[in-house]
Amino acid sequence: LRELITNFERSESELIETSTHQYIRDIYDHVIQIIDTVETYRDSLSSMLDIYLSSVSNRMNEIMKVLTIISTIFIPLTFITGLYGMNFKYMPELSFKWGYPAVIAIMVLTVTGLVIYFKRKKWL
């Protein structure tokens, strides 16, 4: 658009009178000013979009961090539950008097240890 107006303003045609060139130059200046304003607004909108997408990305990263922490806490518990949930006939820990409370204590200690670790890292 800018080139079109520049060519129109600089062209010398017998259809355009010499006195009209001053008005065309004035229109050219206004159009250039409007084009510059539109480009400035476009750049501002582009920057705003980048800021918005960055904030959405940061929020998603925080959500992913929480989900990762939760899964990190539950993976060892799932492993222990899966291991002792198997139906083996000769599993020595099953005959221990304190076997069940010991497994529960191990699970609680695992969760407590992971929570303390995450708090020290300032992830929680």
Structure tokens at 114: 């992971």
Kindly indicate the confidence band of residue 27, based on its pLDDT and cuts at 50, 70 and 90.
confident
Kindly indicate the confidence band of residue 38, based on its pLDDT and cuts at 50, 70 and 90.
very high
Those residues with Cβ within 8 angstroms of residue 93's Cβ, 6 or more apart along the chain or in another chain: 84, 99, 102, 103
Residue with tokens 């492993």: 79
Domains of the chain: 2-120 (1.20.58.340)
43-64, pLDDT tens digit by residue? 999 999 999 999 999 999 999 9
Kindly indicate the confidence band of residue 96, based on its pLDDT and cuts at 50, 70 and 90.
confident
Structure tokens at 2: 């800018």
99-118, pLDDT tens digit by residue? 889 889 999 999 999 999 99
Would the pTM of this model clear 0.75, i.e. be above it?
no
pLDDT at res. 20: 77
Angle at 59 between CA 76 and CA 55, to 5 degrees: 155
pLDDT at res. 106: 93
pLDDT at res. 75: 96
